Amino acid sequence: MSIPGLGIPGLGHAPAAAASAPAEVGRQTVVHELQANSEWRFEVAFGASIELKLISGTAELFGTELAEKHTYTFRGTKASIFTWHGCRLEVTGYCEEYTAQDTPMIVYANTHFAIDRLRDEAIQTGGEGPRVMVVGPNNAGKTSLVKLLTSYAIKMGRQPMVLNTDLREGMLSIPGSLTATPFASIIDVEQGWGSSPTSGPSPVPVKLPLCYYYGLPNPEDNTTIFKSAMTRLALAAANRLTADPAMKGTGMIIDTAGALSQGKEGYDLISHIVREFSVDVILNLGSERLYSEMTRRFASGTGNTLPVMVVKLDKSGGCVDRDENFMRQTQEAAIREYFFGDLKRTLSPHTQQVSFNEAVVYRIRNPNNVNASFLPGGEEETSAPTTHYEKVEPSGMMLHCILAVMYASLRDTQETIRDASVMGFVYVASVDEKKRVLKILAPLNTRIIDRPMIWGSWPETTVSLI
């Protein structure tokens, strides 16, 4: 899942041989017979695992087809496997599971075909493909739908640009970041969205995301800096589309945070995303109120936007609540994977000593303490406070925190640093205030003292990784 980490891929780490999980005594093996148009839904706890094999028939996980006779391993996940024509699955291990006959997959597939017709029209006219945004409350299945639409687009030979604006999720990055990723190859079944160069050798081609760091847990925590990040992300994604004809005809698929589905402030942020990304299709999942608001705002267009097609889709019955404990474990697992890889692709991160004098760290300031010079585009400060950066000296408060290393130089202005993309992330393993030295863990062995680093409050301080 990791984004490219702080240097040239393949340098500074030595991927170990694929590790295997220790055998569990008494693991049961069960064969499930799935009828056509049915879905097997399962939940695997963190610390546990199951092995799954497609014995016969055809099946897919969020749109990506399973290979017959191949063994897949799942850990700490909640997912579902759908079959159009029926199949037999062999499952080894324990998980919470059931089979559902009533699924919205036909509606979702029809949605894909409708979007693909728009792509055909765009290619024929030399225009840009549809820019699709998925909205809805938390745990409504937005990310699963985005993944399914992406997989189906890839099957059709398309190359969609997929954007993640949900700070709780880490799409090819750690939580707290915003990413734009071009997809031209299949999505990995076990790894979710796939892998990047720091994940080591992979049978699936790696993805190269563009990453921006927000550093706060929710978009509403600082709407000004969130809007600024959205503007930069939209500009970078639009430039990438323009440069690639295949991607231009396919368009974008945008995942959003569930927190935006409630209240005027969230609706205003959705409006900002619609304007910046020139969204022309909104898929609404699981909220009548949100559908009504989106229709009112966008169906007839405004002075700043053209009419937007707003489509209401049913929430899948397989969607389950992910409590805070599950999300915290998911986020910690994503951070560990970024630095250490997984059981199949092990990374060897490097530690280095950095003196307080060499480290250049900017912290996201309290929203109530701002400097007008930090507002995007040189805007004047308004009555609504916002968060900006302040240069800080390293201290014990940084222990176990994640710092974003920016694609900028120490000579750049703070505005340039704010607008820069993320080069990678480092972890503060220890702080010696007497010797004025930081111990930094990085995925690759490269110098970080010639790059500015951003210290945010999200992801939250974690337990020691080493």
pLDDT in tens, 195-251: 655 444 445 556 788 999 998 888 988 888 889 899 999 999 999 999 999 999 999
Domain that holds residue 386: 349-455
Lowest mean pLDDT among 201-210, 298-307, 368-377: 368-377
Residues in the chain: 466
**Residues in binding site for ATP:** 39, 78, 139-144
Of 405, 449, 451, the C-alpha closest to 427 is 405
Q: What pLDDT sits at residue 302?
A: 59
Q: Which of 48, 78, 102 is the last residue of a domain?
A: 102
Q: Are 244 and 182 part of one and the same domain?
A: yes
Q: Is residue 337 part of a domain?
A: no
Work out the average pLDDT over 40-60. Answer: 95
Shared domain check, 369 and 266: no
How many angstroms separate the CA atoms of 352 and 355, rounded?
A: 10
pTM: 0.88
Instruction: Tell me, yes or no, whether 387 lies in a domain.
Output: yes
Cα distances (angstroms) measured from residue 84 to each of 61, 81, 144, 365, 399: 12, 10, 18, 52, 50
Per-residue pLDDT of 390-406, as tens digits, reads 899 999 999 999 999 99
Nearest to 160 by CA among 229, 240, 67, 233: 240
Residues 93 and 161 in one domain: no
Q: Answer yes or no: is 10 within a domain.
A: no
Cross-strand bridge partners of residue 158: none
User: Is residue 55 one of the residues assigned to a domain?
Assistant: yes
What are 369's strand-pairing partners? none
Of 87, 102, 117, which residue sits at a domain end?
A: 102
Would residue 464 count as lying in a domain?
Answer: no
Does residue 98 sit in the same domain as residue 109? no
Please indicate, yes or no, whether residues 128 and 162 belong to a single structural domain of this protein: yes
- Give the range among 72-86, 313-327, 336-350, 447-461 with minimum mean pLDDT: 336-350
Using CA atoms in the order 375, 381, 384, 386, what is the torsion angle rounded to 10 degrees? 30
Our count of domains for the chain comes to 3
Claim to verify: residue 92 and residue 135 sit in the same structural domain: no
The CATH number linked to 269 is: 3.40.50.300
Does 88 lie in the same domain as 110?
no
264, 116: one domain: yes
What digits encode the pLDDT tens for the residues 262-272?
A: 889 999 999 99
Q: Is residue 333 part of a domain?
A: no
Residue 284 lies in a domain: yes
Q: Are residues 59 and 173 in the same domain?
A: no
Check which CATH number belongs to the domain holding 85 and give it: 2.60.120.1030
In a domain, 341, yes or no: no
Q: Do the Cβ atoms of 338 and 2 come closer than 8 Å?
A: yes
CATH number at residue 405: 2.40.30.330
CA-to-CA separations, 449 to 232, 333, 360, 406, in angstroms, rounded: 25, 27, 7, 11
pLDDT at 413: 87
Q: Give 345 or 219, the one with higher predicted confidence.
A: 219
Percent of the chain with pLDDT over 70: 85
Mean of the per-residue pLDDT values of the chain: 85
Same domain, 280 and 164: yes
Contact 184/142 with Cβ under 8 angstroms? no
Binding annotation: 39, 78, 139-144
77, 102, 127: which is the final residue of a domain?
Answer: 102
Residue 27 banded pLDDT, cuts 50, 70, 90: confident
Q: Which of 212-221, 274-283, 436-445 has the highest mean pLDDT?
A: 274-283
Backbone angles phi, psi at 319, to 5 degrees: -70, 135
